């Protein structure tokens, strides 16, 4: 109801007061209360003062009151955000197969983070530092990082859960690949969750490995899902190439892909070869793996795509642990360590210049920069005009990086 008429209601709702009169005074008051004869001199003054003015004011007031009652929006309770709704769901019923995909993905990556960290701690012998953090507008993450380990110079296994609002320019950009997004809205709530991992071993004979699997969703104003998609991938980046390592890595990933669609591995392997490229140097970052993005309902339904992402993430440990166990204790020279530092410089170049995930993270409001840049190695080198010797193992790696191979 309009605030302009509330004062009227307050006064009209007050109780009428009748003063108590003592018994001995009632007779006098009764006599005094008889009507008096009319005073002819005052009869002329009877009537309303400025009647036309009062009518005009009354019409304006009533008109304004009616307009306000018709047009004023009713007071609404603040609508709960997607983050608040999800938090309530988890408190009331936990996470089940019937929960929104947002909650299922969040729970899955948390479980995988624990398993991966536990296995890597067994390999290294040292413990990860674990930081739990929260975001002001919902979500947060867990950063697990190991530095100066026995096997890993730097290793990070992070998860992040982000709730936020997409502005119109971001909506228009995303709608190119996701037609389900409403083009008429000025903003959309979004959810993003993912597990990101990079391992930089001490030994130059052991390859660096990267992994990232993520889920993104936008919501309608009423909280229902608007658009969703999965993305991710993994790739191997050796300083010294052992063909059997590349073959094992690709074979394990292919098996995970084939469980869901025989076309996935060749398609996503090519996507990886085209994505992880330092274009300014005309060479790949490593020997590849798989990469995919924007897998939504046009590909397969949500549950099947989620199952595919789960299989890929679960394939990490069997794809990499046998490799690191073979290479972590191999002998190496100072010159070979220096080559590893140069190759790490190339790794940094890709992450800071070309990687979309790094750019998205750094441009997200309230971004946790330390977690985003966790992927960078602890040490790296840039030597001016460095060229490996012809016929050397270093030159062989560069040759392979300039012409991606089919490993299986």
Catalytic center residues: 210
Kindly state the tokens that stand for 216.
């993104």
Between vectors from CA 356 to CA 154 and to CA 129, what angle results, nearest 5°?
25
**d(Cα 366, Cα 184) in Å, to the nearest integer?**
27
Kindly state the tokens that stand for 341.
């530092």
For residue 72, the Cα-to-chain-centroid distance in whole angstroms is: 36
Q: Are 213 and 310 in contact (CB under 8 A)?
A: no
Helix (H) or strand (E) holding 66: helix 51-71
**d(Cα 331, Cα 328) in Å, to the nearest integer?**
9
SS (H, E, C) 171-219: HHHHCCCCCCCCCCCCEEEEEEEEEEEEEEECCCCCCEEEEEEEEEEEE
DSSP state of 389: P
In sequence order, the 6+-apart residues with CB closer than 8 A to the CB of 161 are 106, 139, 140, 141, 191, 192, 193
For residue 210, the Cα-to-chain-centroid distance in whole angstroms is: 20
**d(Cα 54, Cα 48) in Å, to the nearest integer?**
9
Cβ atoms within 10 Å of 166's Cβ, excluding its own: 18
Query: What are the DSSP E strand ranges found in 202-278?
Result: 208-219, 225-237, 277-278
Helix (H) or strand (E) holding 294: strand 288-295
Q: Are 227 and 182 in contact (CB under 8 A)?
A: no
Phi, psi dihedral angles at 134 (to 5 degrees): -125, 155
Going 120 to 123 to 127 to 129, the CA torsion angle's sign is: negative
């Amino acid at each position: 109801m309009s605030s302009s008429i509330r004062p009227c209601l307050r006064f009209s709702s007050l109780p009428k007061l009748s003063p108590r009169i003592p018994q001995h005074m009632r007779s006098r008051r009764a006599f005094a209360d008889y009507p008096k004869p009319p005073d002819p001199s005052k009869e002329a003054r009877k009537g309303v003062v400025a009647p036309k003015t009062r009518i005009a004011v009354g019409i304006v007031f009533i008109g304004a009151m009616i307009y306000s009652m018709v047009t004023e929006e009713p007071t609404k309770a603040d609508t709960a955000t997607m983050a608040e709704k999800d938090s309530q769901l988890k408190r009331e019923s936990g996470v089940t197969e019937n929960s929104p995909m947002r909650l299922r993905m969040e729970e899955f990556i948390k479980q995988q983070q624990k398993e991966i960290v536990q296995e890597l701690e067994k390999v290294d012998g040292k413990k990860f530092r674990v930081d739990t953090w929260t975001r002001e507008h919902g979500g947060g993450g867990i950063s697990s990082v190991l530095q100066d380990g026995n096997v890993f110079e730097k290793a990070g296994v992070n998860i992040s859960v982000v709730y936020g609002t997409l502005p119109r320019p971001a909506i228009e950009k995303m709608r190119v690949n996701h037609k389900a997004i409403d083009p008429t809205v000025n903003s959309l709530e979004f959810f993003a969750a993912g597990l990101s991992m990079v391992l930089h071993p001490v030994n130059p004979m052991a390859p660096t490995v990267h992994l990232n699997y993520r889920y993104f969703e936008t919501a309608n104003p009423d909280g229902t899902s608007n658009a969703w998609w999965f993305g991710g991938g993994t790739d191997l980046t050796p300083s010294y190439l052992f063909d059997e390592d590349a073959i094992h890595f690709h074979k394990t990933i292919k098996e995970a892909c084939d469980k869901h669609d025989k076309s996935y591995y060749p398609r996503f392997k090519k996507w990886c070869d085209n994505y992880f490229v330092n274009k300014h140097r005309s060479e790949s970052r490593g020997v590849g793996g798989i990469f995919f993005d924007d897998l939504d309902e046009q590909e397969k339904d949500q549950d099947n795509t989620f199952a595919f992402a789960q299989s890929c993430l679960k394939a990490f440990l069997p794809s990499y642990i046998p490799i690191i166990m073979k290479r972590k204790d191999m002998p190496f020279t100072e010159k070979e360590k220096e080559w590893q530092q140069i190759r790490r410089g190339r790794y940094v170049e890709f992450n800071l210049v070309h990687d979309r995930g790094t750019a998205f993270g750094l441009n997200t409001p309230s971004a946790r920069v330390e977690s985003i840049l966790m992927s960078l190695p602890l040490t790296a080198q840039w030597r001016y005009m460095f060229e490996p010797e012809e016929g050397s193992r270093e030159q062989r790696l560069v040759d392979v990086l300039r012409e991606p191979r089919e490993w299986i």
